[in-house]
Chain A
Amino acid sequence: MNATMLMQTIASGLVMGLIYMLIALGVTLLFGIMRVVNFVHGELVMLSAFAVYFMTTAAGLPFFVALALAAVASSVVAVFCQYALFSPLQYDILNCFIVGIGASFAIRSASWAIFGPEPIAIASTLPGVLNIGGVFIAKQRLLAAVLCAGLAILLAVFLRYTRHGKAMRAVEQDREAALLMGVNPTSVYVTAFVISAVLAAVGGAMLGTLFGVDPEMGAEPILKSFIIVQIGGMGSLLGTVIAGLFIGLTDSITGTLLGGELAFIFDFSILMLILIVRPRGLFGYDA
């Protein structure tokens, strides 16, 4: 592998890592606050991508307007899932996990029936490719990377500096103490689901412009998200960011060096190693 090829591999890996990181942040946020492993998250990615596709093609809306509306729709679905699925189960980790898988399959199957099998794609908002010293980066990928990184920073700022963000962190750290301090957990839960849904919507729209839209498109990101979250540490935002970038880079490097088939093997090997050596993940804490 020469220097240009290495740079190409790193650039490609960072972009993918940032997208996976954004989707995984939604997963880890819900786990951190509610201990909910939300399998429906992948379907929110898919449904949002379809929403953006139809709003940009059928309704002719500009991409970012469609994305904003898709984020609203995704939030509505997420909050509905919260009240219809997870709240009745009192956010029990195992029950929510199983119900989430069931709901995920149901949504995916319904999507096949509704949207049909033909592959479609959201039109690129930024066509063209940048050539930086022999390293090629599609402008759309660059946009996706910038947007994902920007949103991750915004989320960190929100959680650190806003009243509502602090309330979320308080619930995450000690639910009972937060309650005694007057934090309304219901409001925190709804906010967490909405934020998670918005992240899924942006991730879905970005994936839709890069890789097309189909009912199965949420499956790989959710699998990657769980690997990332597990490696980074369930509930740790910093861990998710680092693990997301790490998985993006290792996927790209192993895929380029050894072939794409081996990337997943490598991911799972890392995951197994982490689970054996440090079960709570790199930056996680004991639940």
Chain B
Amino acid sequence: MLIDRRKATMLIGGIAGTLVTGRASAANKEILIGGSVPLSGPGAAIGITAQRTFQHAVELINAEGIEVGGDRYTLKANFYDNKYVPAEAVTVVEKLLADGTRFLFSLGSGNSVPVVAKTTAAKCLQMSMASGKSHLTSPEFPLSFRVQPTNETAWAVYPWLKTARPNVKKIGHMNPSDEAGFTESDDRTMIAEKNGFTNIAKEFFKRGSTDFYPVATRLVAANPDLIDLGGTIGRDQALGCKALRELGYKGEIMLGYSDARSFIEVAGASAAEGTILFDTLAEPQNQKQKDLVDWWIKTYGPPFPSFACTVWDAPFVLAEAIRKAQSADPVQIAKVMTGMEWDGLFGKSRFGMKSVYGIDTTITRPIPMAVVKGGKPVQLDIVPWPANV
């Protein structure tokens, strides 16, 4: 059978194309990461910040690629809205696991704790930005990593308070009445006590409340030297702080996690003045942080949400662990990540806290401390992670 020149050219081209494509697909492999974050609702601000930051980190990682046994791997992160509702988070994660995703980035304690048994059973490596204790971090869950210091920040912050605020003796606590809030409250009161402080009030509110006067009235009546809003995020902490000040509270207020500038805007400059901000980066302290700030401002405009800094390390640590493990298997990667050290955005960082949780899967790193001064956050100190924890 004769074929004309045009058909022959197409045939050769097609074969060549198939060969090239086939070769490329053999060499380029993709690791899917599922993101379960709040993209709407009261936690949306941090969820969207997390998504944007994580995706940017993935872009940088992919530009270089991850070499594993001669193959070039890239990461692909797909984010889904858990609305900061545990039931939604469970649905999101069940769908991800059913679709074969074996790496999960989860934001929020209430969203991370209910899925950890499922991810562990499915041998899915879970990186949570969440408050948690043994229900999220324990030898029972060897693939569960906590990539943001949350309730654990108290281990660094309370010893610092003893010297930075020597007049503070009595502590009051205000937290949301949910998984994160109870965990934060338990840990912070325990750590405060270990450091010689007296806990005189422990109050809870419904996350997303508008009127904080009732809970603030109770706290003000107890007259603590410092009120720790440790487990609060976003608008809640601004409204909590505002209510405390409007009810005449003159003592110290301490909070963290959220974007300082949004906090100041919603609370009002006068109410926010003097507030101690833990794990808050007011000014970039090194080139890595400066690059991140510059990218954000260039891409999304000011203000830069300091929460982005807490997200940054997670995808890089995962990429590094894949390289070290020379495997895309979550179990092998988790073994490498356990106890792993790296030079992170905040300096020397490590998955540790075996002394507390029985397994080295919780991030430990320096904690930046800031204070609201003249209506804006000012860096106070960078507190090193305590050696004994």
Q: Which of B143-151, B204-212, B285-293 contacts A (4 or more CB under 8 A)?
A: B204-212
- Near B by CB (< 8 A), chain A positions 1-53 give 5, 8-9, 12, 16
Chain B contact residue count (CB 8 A cutoff): 40
| B211 engages A259 (CB within 8 Å) | no
Considering the complex, give the chain B residue whose CB is closest to the CB of A209.
B268
B294 close to chain A: CB less than 8 A: no
Q: Which residues of A contact B246 (CB under 8 A)?
A: 129, 136, 138, 141
User: C-beta contact mask, A199-232 vs B, less than 8 Å → 1, else 0?
Assistant: 0000000010011101111001100000000000
| B235 engages A12 (CB within 8 Å) | no
| A119 engages B234 (CB within 8 Å) | yes
Chain A nearest CB from B184 CB (Å) reads 15
> Contacts A129-B246, A212-B235, A260-B204 hold; do A121 and B217 have CB atoms under 8 A apart?
no
Chain A nearest CB from B307 CB (Å) reads 11
B339 close to chain A: CB less than 8 A: no
> Contacts A119-B238, A138-B246, A261-B177 hold; do A5 and B217 have CB atoms under 8 A apart?
yes
| B45 engages A220 (CB within 8 Å) | no
Given the complex of chains A and B, what is the CA–CA distance between A229 and B239 in angstroms?
Answer: 27
A119: which of B215, B217, B266, B268 is its contact (CB, 8 Å)?
Answer: B266
| A255 engages B235 (CB within 8 Å) | no
Chain B nearest CB from A120 CB (Å) reads 6
Q: Which of B5-13, B36-44, B100-108 contacts A (4 or more CB under 8 A)?
A: B36-44
Given the complex of chains A and B, what is the CA–CA distance between A266 and B231 in angstroms?
Answer: 25
Chain A nearest CB from B46 CB (Å) reads 8
| A260 engages B45 (CB within 8 Å) | no
Q: Which residues of A contact B39 (CB under 8 A)?
A: 112, 117
A97 close to chain B: CB less than 8 A: no
| A216 engages B268 (CB within 8 Å) | no
Given the complex of chains A and B, what is the CA–CA distance between A112 and B45 in angstroms?
Answer: 10
> Contacts A207-B210, A212-B239, A264-B206 hold; do A9 and B45 have CB atoms under 8 A apart?
no
| A261 engages B210 (CB within 8 Å) | no
Considering the complex, give the chain B residue whose CB is closest to the CB of A212.
B266
| B259 engages A12 (CB within 8 Å) | no
- Near B by CB (< 8 A), chain A positions 235-283 give 251-252, 254-256, 259-261, 263-264
A117: which of B45, B247, B270 is its contact (CB, 8 Å)?
Answer: B45
| A120 engages B265 (CB within 8 Å) | yes
| A217 engages B40 (CB within 8 Å) | no
| A118 engages B262 (CB within 8 Å) | yes
| B206 engages A261 (CB within 8 Å) | yes
B98 close to chain A: CB less than 8 A: no
Given the complex of chains A and B, what is the CA–CA distance between A136 and B270 in angstroms?
Answer: 16
A124 close to chain B: CB less than 8 A: yes
B235: which of A5, A9, A214, A252 is its contact (CB, 8 Å)?
Answer: A214
Given the complex of chains A and B, what is the CA–CA distance between A200 and B372 in angstroms?
Answer: 34
| A119 engages B213 (CB within 8 Å) | no
Given the complex of chains A and B, what is the CA–CA distance between A247 and B209 in angstroms?
Answer: 15
User: C-beta contact mask, A84-120 vs B, less than 8 Å → 1, else 0?
Assistant: 0000000000000000000000001100100011111
Considering the complex, give the chain B residue whose CB is closest to the CB of A134.
B248
B211: which of A118, A251, A261 is its contact (CB, 8 Å)?
Answer: A251
Chain A nearest CB from B205 CB (Å) reads 4
Given the complex of chains A and B, what is the CA–CA distance between A214 and B45 in angstroms?
Answer: 10
Considering the complex, give the chain B residue whose CB is closest to the CB of A219.
B208
Q: Which residues of A contact B213 (CB under 8 A)?
A: 8, 12, 16, 252, 255-256
A60 close to chain B: CB less than 8 A: no
Q: Which residues of B contact A116 (CB under 8 A)?
A: 48
| A211 engages B203 (CB within 8 Å) | no
Considering the complex, give the chain B residue whose CB is closest to the CB of A140.
B246
A133 close to chain B: CB less than 8 A: no
- Near A by CB (< 8 A), chain B positions 271-320 give 305
| A256 engages B45 (CB within 8 Å) | no
| A263 engages B239 (CB within 8 Å) | no
Chain B nearest CB from A245 CB (Å) reads 15
| B208 engages A251 (CB within 8 Å) | no
| A119 engages B203 (CB within 8 Å) | no
Q: Which residues of B contact A186 (CB under 8 A)?
A: none
Q: Which residues of A contact B205 (CB under 8 A)?
A: 259-261
Given the complex of chains A and B, what is the CA–CA distance between A37 and B60 in angstroms?
Answer: 51
- Near A by CB (< 8 A), chain B positions 6-55 give 39-42, 44-45, 47-49
- Near B by CB (< 8 A), chain A positions 177-217 give 207, 210-212, 214-217
| A120 engages B262 (CB within 8 Å) | yes
Considering the complex, give the chain A residue whose CB is closest to the CB of B259.
A118
Chain A nearest CB from B203 CB (Å) reads 7
Chain A nearest CB from B27 CB (Å) reads 38
Q: Which residues of B contact A162 (CB under 8 A)?
A: none
Q: List 23 A-B contacts (CB under 8 A).
A: A9-B217, A108-B40, A109-B40, A112-B44, A117-B49, A119-B262, A129-B248, A138-B246, A211-B211, A211-B235, A215-B40, A217-B210, A252-B214, A254-B214, A255-B215, A256-B213, A256-B218, A260-B205, A260-B209, A260-B212, A261-B205, A261-B206, A263-B214
Residues of A within 8 A of B (CB): 5, 8-9, 12, 16, 108-109, 112, 116-121, 124, 127, 129, 131, 136, 138, 141, 207, 210-212, 214-217, 220-221, 251-252, 254-256, 259-261, 263-264
